[in-house]
Amino acid sequence: MIYEQPYYFLTTDVEMYMANQNQDTINVTSCNINFDCNNAMASDILKSKIELIKKSNETYLLKVVNIDFNKNNHQGYWIVKRIDKNKVIQYNLITQLINDLESADKIYSSAIADKDVFGYTFYSKNYLNELQHLPNISTIEQVHKILELTQSEKFKKIAISQAKSGTTDIYGAGFAGEVLTSSCIELGFNPVGAGRKIDSIVRFNKAYFNQSIR
């Protein structure tokens, strides 16, 4: 099993995506930030039938048939890497597929070699519960620290890697979620619900914020 337990991807909003495997099927469900995946707003985004093509160093190249909420079938490929029991990296946006095997194989080879290849990190619930003990973002100064980090050379390289990956993220929502979560963890802040907290702080400090970034 690749997803030995439910794993969650954090967005910049009040939503997260849960990936949960049942034998040869991975279900992706939208949940709120309280890990409630059965609330009125929750929805099953897709069911993915997977077939292992090859595996090396906990990196998996999968043939996938996605069945979306409109019951349409989409065939293609995923590359997934298990980092440890708390982290799984999906090398394409989980609602999207890599269309051809040649492109998927190139990403798979880069992932095995730990080359600079962008991916979306899913975290276990236990790990996210631990992270929620970190301080919440609460001041405009803390927001600035996060924004400064996202503009650093490290994250510029991540942005270049994402642009070169050839994976689809039309509105940049997946990339924004990945960068915000990584930034919060690196700076010692709780990443769960961080996007909404930042939005609220910026709104209430709009004049100060506009002046400070000139």
pLDDT tens-place string over residues 132-187? 999 999 999 999 999 899 888 888 888 777 777 666 566 677 888 999 999 999 99
pLDDT at 212: 52
pTM: 0.86
Q: Which residue has the tokens 């949960």?
A: 20
pLDDT digits over 29-41, tens only? 888 888 888 765 5
pLDDT at 165: 66
Better pLDDT: 3 or 115: 3
Burial class (CB in 10 A: 0-12, 13-18, 19+), 50: buried
The span from the CA of 91 to the CA of 97, in Å, is 10
pLDDT(66) > 90: no
Q: Record the tokens describing residue 50, joined without a space.
A: 């997977």
The contacts found for 55-58 with CB under 8 angstroms, 24 or more apart, are: 56/112, 57/112, 58/82, 58/83
pLDDT at 214: 46
Give 42's strand partners. Answer: none
Average pLDDT over residues 109-115: 84
pLDDT digits over 8-28, tens only? 999 887 788 899 898 998 888
The span from the CA of 116 to the CA of 210, in Å, is 34
Would you say 90 and 122 are in contact if contact means Cβ atoms under 8 Å apart? yes
Give the residue among 8, 5, 6 at the shortest CA–CA distance from 131.
8
The span from the CA of 66 to the CA of 27, in Å, is 10
